[in-house]
Structure 1
Amino acid sequence: MLTKAVRAALIGVVAAGFFGGCGTKDARPVIRLLTGPDSGGGFKEIIRQFEAARPDLRVELVEGPAATNTREDMYAASFMAQDGAYDVVFMDVIWVPKFAAAGWILPLDDRFPAEERADFLPGDISGSIYQTKIYRVPMQSDAGMLYYRKDLLDAEKRVPPRTVEELAELARALQSPPDRWGLVFQGQQYEGLVCAFLEVLWGFGGDVIDAEGRVTLDSPESVRALEWLAGLPTRLAPPGVTTYQEEECRQMFQDGRAVFMRNWPYAWTLCQKEGSPVRGKIGIVPMVHAAGKTSAATLGGWGYGISAYSKHPGAAWSFIEFATQAAQQKVFHFRTGAIPTRKSLFDDADILKGSPHFKELYTVLLAARPRPVHPRYSRISDILQRHVSAALVGQLTPEKAIQDAAEKIRQALQ
């Protein structure tokens, strides 16, 4: 059943398409693309450039709601109706397995071969693949990282932490609660908690499912990871961290009330704005890991695919190929602040002039991993949210939370 928001949005899209076509004799194929609000005008500028390069084609931008779940529902409703309302699918990385498994999007292997993927960040490519086939061309990357107060570490002649032990020791040494805590992270029961937990889980050598889709969550590594995370509130993190999302963390760190912060790249720009108490005083590094293990970042980001019901798949590919070139990703970056997915742009002089931290960000992005690639990821996420949160607030022991979550996930994937 469609929600009121989705029904209203779909009516608006249909009406716009109907009335937009009245009285016109333009016979060019129309490529339709659904996105969120085009803040900064990045999509419009790329469309303008594309139509100038390909006057035989026309692109119609449908600016949907800001809420990503509503846009996901809009795509799903269109696909289930097999109506071909959208040709190009601008999708979140976590939608790929769901859309691909349902047969709603086309595999792109013939159009996007391995040699063409070489300039893209490896995590973004990995997140675009489902059951060995690639369904998405990455356009905008994102990944979790550890922010730190460079000025505080420099004053103590200390280097940024690499391991969980080093982070705990530095946070303890530099905090002075309640005025300044050691670490803030996304601890509320929502998707952000899953992203934060996965980075710790991978950093301890654990995982949720393996390459064959078998649940591997109930391992000693997973228990140790959750024990570490659940031990942070009141010790190194404020008690209220279990209610924090990204913005609560960012505000606390930006106000100078935390030494370390787990967050996404967007926070850098806000922390460096004129008047920010921490402007020029921060750095970024990959998320910490257990001794003998390696860091990993939870992958976010967006990319383009082709609807299986498009009447113009060739034209849709022409737009995708154009829009994801380095020149267009650069335009999109400057218009919207989006992080490119092409490795070559992290050495671009123009980008580095405005974003010198991209050299460090590139290291973070190279270690990015997609969340469990499964059509039922939303069920996996819901189970993890509930059980990790229960451990953080003391309702379950970490061991019990891991055991119960693993069993629930097995049942959900049967």
Structure 2
Amino acid sequence: MARIVSFIATALAWLVISFAPAQAKVTISISCSSLGVELELCQEGANEWAKQTGNAVKLVATPPDAQERLALYQQLLAAGSADIDVFQIDVVWPGTLATHFIDLKQYIPAEELKDHFTTLLTNDTVDGKLVAAPFFVDAGLLYYRKDLLDKHGLKPPRDWAELTQTAKAVLDAERSSNGKLQGFVWQGRAYEGLTCNSIEWVASFGGGSIVETDGKISINNPQAAAAITLAKGWIGTISPEGVLNYAEEDARGVFQSGNAVFMRNWPYAWALANAPDSPVKGKVGIALLPQGSGSGARHAAALGGQDLAVSKYSANPKEAADLVRYLTSAEEQKRRAIKGSFNPTRKSLYGDQELLSALPFLKDFEAVLESAVARPSTVTGAKYNRVSSEYVRAVHNTLTGKGTAEENLANLEKALERVSRGGRW
């Protein structure tokens, strides 16, 4: 346990923020992502719950990098640590971490749960147990500089080829006045964010979703190779070489500073791009991610989001579950959506006029969710992290010129056969 605590303190530099009313009943610790304004919003919500209940809360800020956060969680949970009561987890982790979480159906009334999108509840249910509650839902979006497109008489692109052409046209026209301008920024670092970006490219070309729901490994196909090869062509042309080390905040930093025409990112970036001090405030538009080419072409957005789960090692599971119930309530989700553009998981909020006024793109977001492609975490279960790592390696190798897409996808297929033991997940 001492080794784990040392790892937390030195390697990941946790930030702990406490709120403790006088004579608090119990103290509940909750891990929150530090991506964008997530930590601030989590702190505000948890503090309000503490005020209402007389309990205390302790926030633990965890790395924005999903793989680092998962590794940290796995170390803590494997040790049976009670240091964190409530875990903020990615939507692809319930199957991996399920054995360490309590069944929230014991603490959250069924009537309240029914308001969440059914697909999200299904995702969070493992062996009949609701091991997490939906916190917010994500899907990839295309951000664009509507002022620059309007200036040059251009429209948001319908497909990736058109995005490439449009980005080049704006760069050619604007580079003399802004030498830092890039055509398209996205998440190209070798981590889970690249899994999300590239599965969008592949699915938009009709190339499947790595592993299909029946367990078949489908990634080694011409459509997938064409999609990844197209993306390789962006490097050094419409995308900077540095994009291969970009995560979400790196891409947002370039775009929000006014130095990119297009950006692929999650909905959270909307509120930040339109903040009072943002250089691009009022100049940003949002569209569906472009479709690919060929007979299977379609719009495809990676399904993402976050959940809240309660550790079975918690000394206060009832209070921890009550904090989860509060943070995933309609009222709290509405507040988070207006302030931070984190999309609600509750169906009832999608008709809320105040919310639609604050987030105009929300009226079309259900259509985005309809085109969403899920990562194969359900079918691969506890092996998903290995699947994603192998996939990211193959994609990143292609993007950096270490073999062709065809060669890397053929090697990936063989690696996934070994991981699955012949397709038996």
- Using the TM superposition, give the Cα deviation of residue 168 of structure 1 relative to its aligned residue in structure 2, in angstroms: 3.2
Whole-Å separation in 1 of the counterparts to 2:315 and 2:165? 59
Give runs of aligned pairs for residues 122-201 of structure 1, distance below 5 A.
Answer: 124-125=120-121, 127-130=123-126, 134-155=130-151, 157-176=153-172, 179=179, 180-201=181-202
- Using the TM superposition, give the Cα deviation of residue 262 of structure 1 relative to its aligned residue in structure 2, in angstroms: 1.2
One-letter code aligned to 1:61: K
Overall identity of the aligned pairs, in %: 31
SS of match in other structure, 1:300: strand
One-letter code aligned to 1:324: T
- Using the TM superposition, give the Cα deviation of residue 129 of structure 1 relative to its aligned residue in structure 2, in angstroms: 4.0
Whole-Å separation in 2 of the counterparts to 1:30 and 1:249? 37
Equivalent residue for 1:61?
Answer: 58
1:403 to 401, 410, 417: 410
2:280 counterpart of 1:258: no
Whole-Å separation in 2 of the counterparts to 1:219 and 1:147? 29
Label 1:77 to 1:126 Cα distance change in 2 as closer, same or farther (>3 A): same
Give runs of aligned pairs for residues 49-88 of structure 1, distance below 5 A.
Answer: 49=49, 52=52, 58=55, 60-66=57-63, 72-73=70-71, 75-82=73-80, 84-88=82-86
Equivalent residue for 1:389?
Answer: 396
Whole-Å separation in 1 of the counterparts to 2:23 and 2:269? 47
Whole-Å separation in 2 of the counterparts to 1:392 and 1:235? 13
SS of match in other structure, 2:101: coil
One-letter code aligned to 1:219: N
Equivalent residue for 1:90?
Answer: 88
Contact 2:152 2:170 in 1 (8 A): no
- Using the TM superposition, give the Cα deviation of residue 270 of structure 1 relative to its aligned residue in structure 2, in angstroms: 3.3
- Farther-moved stretch of structure 1 (195-204 vs 59-68): 59-68
Label 1:322 to 1:412 Cα distance change in 2 as closer, same or farther (>3 A): same
Deviations 1:139-158 (A, max 9, x none): 12333211122233334554
- Using the TM superposition, give the Cα deviation of residue 138 of structure 1 relative to its aligned residue in structure 2, in angstroms: 0.9
SS of match in other structure, 1:309: coil
- Farther-moved stretch of structure 1 (178-187 vs 319-328): 178-187
- Using the TM superposition, give the Cα deviation of residue 400 of structure 1 relative to its aligned residue in structure 2, in angstroms: 0.6
Give runs of aligned pairs for residues 2-401 of structure 1, distance below 5 A.
Answer: 2=4, 4-6=6-8, 31-36=28-33, 39-40=39-40, 42-49=42-49, 52=52, 58=55, 60-66=57-63, 72-73=70-71, 75-82=73-80, 84-100=82-98, 103-108=99-104, 116-121=112-117, 124-125=120-121, 127-130=123-126, 134-155=130-151, 157-176=153-172, 179=179, 180-205=181-206, 206-274=208-276, 276-291=278-293, 292-310=296-314, 312-333=316-337, 338-373=342-377, 374-401=381-408
Whole-Å separation in 1 of the counterparts to 2:300 and 2:123? 14
SS of match in other structure, 1:375: helix
Contact 1:160 1:285 in 2 (8 A): yes
Whole-Å separation in 2 of the counterparts to 1:255 and 1:204? 31
Whole-Å separation in 1 of the counterparts to 2:114 and 2:395? 36
Label 1:257 to 1:105 Cα distance change in 2 as closer, same or farther (>3 A): same
Label 1:150 to 1:331 Cα distance change in 2 as closer, same or farther (>3 A): closer
- Farther-moved stretch of structure 1 (231-240 vs 186-195): 231-240
SS of match in other structure, 1:162: coil
Label 1:229 to 1:345 Cα distance change in 2 as closer, same or farther (>3 A): same
Q: TM-score, normalised by structure 1?
A: 0.80
SS of match in other structure, 1:293: coil
One-letter code aligned to 2:97: F
- Using the TM superposition, give the Cα deviation of residue 82 of structure 1 relative to its aligned residue in structure 2, in angstroms: 3.4
Whole-Å separation in 1 of the counterparts to 2:262 and 2:214? 36
- Using the TM superposition, give the Cα deviation of residue 283 of structure 1 relative to its aligned residue in structure 2, in angstroms: 0.8
- Farther-moved stretch of structure 1 (240-249 vs 294-303): 240-249
One-letter code aligned to 1:376: K
- Using the TM superposition, give the Cα deviation of residue 197 of structure 1 relative to its aligned residue in structure 2, in angstroms: 0.5
Label 1:215 to 1:131 Cα distance change in 2 as closer, same or farther (>3 A): farther
Deviations 1:216-245 (A, max 9, x none): 211222222212222222344334433433
SS of match in other structure, 2:324: helix
Label 1:400 to 1:259 Cα distance change in 2 as closer, same or farther (>3 A): same
Q: TM-score, normalised by structure 2?
A: 0.78
SS of match in other structure, 1:371: coil
For this pair of structures, how many residues does the alignment match?
Answer: 401
SS of match in other structure, 2:402: coil
Equivalent residue for 2:420?
Answer: 413
Contact 1:172 1:236 in 2 (8 A): yes
- Using the TM superposition, give the Cα deviation of residue 131 of structure 1 relative to its aligned residue in structure 2, in angstroms: 6.0
Label 1:332 to 1:183 Cα distance change in 2 as closer, same or farther (>3 A): closer
Structure 1 unaligned segments of length 5 or more: list them: none
Structure 2 unaligned segments of length 5 or more: list them: none
Whole-Å separation in 2 of the counterparts to 1:276 and 1:315? 39
Label 1:31 to 1:238 Cα distance change in 2 as closer, same or farther (>3 A): closer
- Using the TM superposition, give the Cα deviation of residue 182 of structure 1 relative to its aligned residue in structure 2, in angstroms: 3.3
CA-atom RMSD, angstroms? 3.8
SS of match in other structure, 1:94: coil
One-letter code aligned to 1:190: Y
SS of match in other structure, 1:214: coil
One-letter code aligned to 2:189: Q
- Using the TM superposition, give the Cα deviation of residue 408 of structure 1 relative to its aligned residue in structure 2, in angstroms: 1.6
SS of match in other structure, 2:4: coil
Label 1:61 to 1:120 Cα distance change in 2 as closer, same or farther (>3 A): same
